[in-house]
Amino acid sequence: MQEATRAITLESLLAEVARLKAEGWRFVTLTASELDAERLELLYHFDRELRLQHLRAAVAKTAEVPSISPVFFAAALVENEVQDLFGLRFTGLLLDFRGRLYLEEESPMPPFCRRGREAEAPRGGGGSEAPGGESCATR
């Protein structure tokens, strides 16, 4: 990629995002892609005056990722999407669909993890336990 990309860890994620926000960077989106059977790659994209900057983190599929939605509410939707499609669990989501943003029970789960099906079991906390109706609330 031609733009600045920095590798970060999950621990430093929130601090980094907060710093970028303070510097005037706009949250563009989050891209998840599958690295291998165990890991996913998360790419956070930010924009300032038409220039992009990316934060890159490799995370285990079973990891609990801190949600950046308290910093950028705009991230809530995309984090839900990743939770749906990759089965990755985000904690502290301001708007949590619990894996039911796009998918129904009969949809294949999680559809984007195709290498190593063992990542299937914990589905964003929504599959097994009955999802409570109240958690899906706008702030």
Q: Which residues pair with 91 in a beta bridge?
A: 66
User: At a CB cut-off of 8 Å and minimum separation 6, what does 136 contact?
Assistant: 95, 96, 97, 98
Strands 4-7 and 51-60: parallel
Question: According to CB under 8 A, which one of 107, 115, 116, 118 is a site residue for other proteins?
Answer: 107
Residue 115 in tokens: 């290498």
Answer yes or no whether residue 39 interacts with other proteins by CB under 8 A. no
Which helix or strand (DSSP H or E) is residue 80 part of? helix 75-86
Cβ nearer to other proteins, comparing 13 with 72: 72
Q: Candidates 8-16, 60-68, 70-78, 117-125 — which segment interacts with other proteins by CB under 8 A?
A: 70-78
- Nearest-approach distance from CB 31 to other proteins, in angstroms: 4
Radius of gyration of the chain (CA): 15
Answer yes or no whether residue 97 interacts with other proteins by CB under 8 A. yes
Question: According to CB under 8 A, which one of 18, 64, 73, 120 is a site residue for other proteins?
Answer: 73
The residue count for binding other proteins (CB under 8 A) is 43
Answer yes or no whether residue 50 interacts with other proteins by CB under 8 A. yes
Beta strand extents in 19-138 (DSSP E only): 26-34, 39-48, 51-60, 64-66, 89-91
Binding site for other proteins (CB under 8 A): 1-3, 26-29, 31-34, 43, 45, 47, 50, 52, 54, 72-74, 76-78, 95, 97-98, 100-108, 111-112, 114, 131, 133, 136-138
